[in-house]
Structure 1
Amino acid sequence: MSRPRLGQVDQINCLPVYHALEEGLLPMDIELVKGTPSRLSNLFFSGALAATLISSIEYPRNADNCFILPGLSVSADGRVASILFFSKIPVTELEGKRVCLTESSDTSAALLKVLFDHYYHVEVQFITAPPNLDIMMQKADGALLVGNDAMLAYQRVKEQGLSYYITDLGEAWKLFTGGKMVYALWVVSKSYARTNREEINLLNKILLESKEIGLGQIHALVSKAQKKLSLPLQVIEDYFKTIRLEFDEDCRKALLTFYDYAYKSGLIDERVKLSIWGESGGV
């Protein structure tokens, strides 16, 4: 690769990080590659991207192949507003029922499974379907939606007065553990980083600068997000106040807590240490 290729997930929770890059507000020698989380993850692990955002559950499954870029994550401290579980009956009454998972996010599906195992203590039958609430609810008694799909479904449920119970998984995780939840991480390929140290240091610096610019231009982000989703302004404004993009010590502890429970639920093969670019063990 002649210059770093950076994956860009097309979800509004990433807008604050990518906005300045999209608008040419920062000088950069980076190629942005847009795509869905699954497509970008496949490109990254096949060696076609130097760095990208990945679902946080993917890190322990691929820790030998990537470093976590410092200072960046998609996280929340409690309510997240974009990872929602819709159910016909209360969650605690779903024993033996079918639950439909979206195909859109491995981390959210893992989080729901962890909560069922260790918080709600309910055993359900999981099936997977495309992210369409009506179709999912025809097949099951509960449905998990994430990102733009979750926010649009929530708005429709409220506007139409549909009688679904709605559980925000960020709120449930906070009640369970008392900590934050980290949903996604920016990572860099180990093979690329080890031979392109200066490029990766510059990429990390640009992403952090872009994030700060984006967070300082919330009105522009809200306008851009509304064009994507056609949600009320106040809903989008609230979302940008809810989502967090730092990767501080609390995030690190929360991530390891999540991995511990994921291991207990058999969702990852082993507990892992976090290998952060630029820190001890992160070259």
Structure 2
Amino acid sequence: MASTNPFRISIIDYLNAAPLNYGFKHGLGYEHFHLKFHVPSLCANQLKSGEVDAGLISSIEYLRIPKLKLVPGLCIASPKRVRSVVILSKVPPESIRTLALDTSSRTSVVLAQILLRERFGVDVRAVDMAPDQGAMLAQCDAALLIGDVAMRTRREGLIVLDLAEEWHAWTGLPFVFALWQVREDAARLDIPGGVGPFFHRSLEMGRENLPAIVDEAWRTIGWTKPELREYLTENISYSLGEAERESLALFFEKAVANGFAPENKPLAFL
């Protein structure tokens, strides 16, 4: 049924999500939406508990949280090399025995362990840790870091595994890290077209204002503006097309087979 209550959206405040979030953060549909800002794992928790109606959350959570629908056509994916989701290792991949996990993103945690297990033939002992590169590598052979933290990491003298690049080399497919996911019981907005078009318009506004996003990131990330623009236009993709759906199906199949999700299920869209 239609509702006069605000539609509650949980927002990832990472650079790779900035174009998707831009419209919402700059007043799009302000009379309809209430925004909350979290890391992906907390977005997922709030969506599961019903504290929010929609969230830009890790793709693996689609298999773990019941009764969700996806916003069609949108995601955070990487066609080949992502640069912001990496394993930094002191030893070759085949020799990794302990892996420190930044648990801010649950999809990356699953992908890292699947790649090490199936691509490199090692079954590591995973250790959940705060995203502190020094502490992680002091305790473990390798560390998984994601997002803006990963973009700022020191990589000299370390072996770097870019997870999207490894997935692409293994499967020939892009990798889908996150999706806009909406609770089936979310109240409907009493407006033509409902909530769906707002998500697409928010991304359109982000693309229109990409120089502003790059300028803000330049002050905090430490990359040059050309590097940041390349990251947001080439390393990251926001379109959920046929190849991305194929990749999701394969990732979900492997996640279930490796015990990271209870069961597979088809994609359902708004």
Residues 135 and 201 of structure 1: is their aligned pair in 2 closer, same or farther, counting only changes over 3 Å?
A: farther
Contact conserved, 1:7 with 1:35, CA < 8 A, in 2?
yes
Residues 256 and 59 of structure 1: is their aligned pair in 2 closer, same or farther, counting only changes over 3 Å?
A: same
Of 1, 13, 21, the match for 2:24: 21
The runs of 5 or more residues in structure 1 that have no matched partner are: 278-283
Superposition map of 1:71-82 within 5 A: 71-82=73-84
Q: TM-score, normalised by structure 2?
A: 0.92
What is the aligned partner in structure 1 of residue 89 from structure 2? 87
Contact conserved, 1:114 with 1:261, CA < 8 A, in 2?
yes
Superposition map of 1:93-242 within 5 A: 93-94=95-96, 97-153=97-153, 156-157=154-155, 162-192=156-186, 195-196=187-188, 198=190, 201-241=193-233, 242=235
- Letter of the aligned partner of 2:141 in structure 1? D
Task: Tell me if 1:6 matches 2:9.
Answer: yes
Q: TM-score, normalised by structure 1?
A: 0.88
What is the aligned partner in structure 2 of residue 58 from structure 1? 61
Cα distance per residue 1:123-181 (max 9 Å; x no partner): 2221111101110000011110000111011xx33xxxx31010100000001111111
Of 258, 264, 267, the match for 2:251: 258
Cα distance per residue 1:194-219 (max 9 Å; x no partner): x5265694322011012122113221
* Secondary structure of 1:245's aligned partner: strand
* Secondary structure of 1:5's aligned partner: strand
Q: Distance in 2 between matches of 1:42 and 1:265?
A: 22
- Letter of the aligned partner of 1:231 in structure 2? W
Shift of 1:35: 1.9
Contact conserved, 2:47 with 2:54, CA < 8 A, in 1?
yes
Shift of 1:8: 1.0
Q: Distance in 2 between matches of 1:243 and 1:200?
A: 31
Of 28, 38, 42, the match for 1:39: 42
- Sequence identity percentage: 29
Contact conserved, 2:136 with 2:143, CA < 8 A, in 1?
yes
The alignment of Structure 1 onto Structure 2 pairs a total of residues equal to 266
Q: Distance in 2 between matches of 1:110 and 1:202?
A: 33
What is the aligned partner in structure 2 of residue 280 from structure 1? none
Contact conserved, 1:4 with 1:199, CA < 8 A, in 2?
no
Contact conserved, 2:39 with 2:105, CA < 8 A, in 1?
no
Task: Tell me if 1:275 matches 2:268.
Answer: yes
Larger % of helix: which? 1
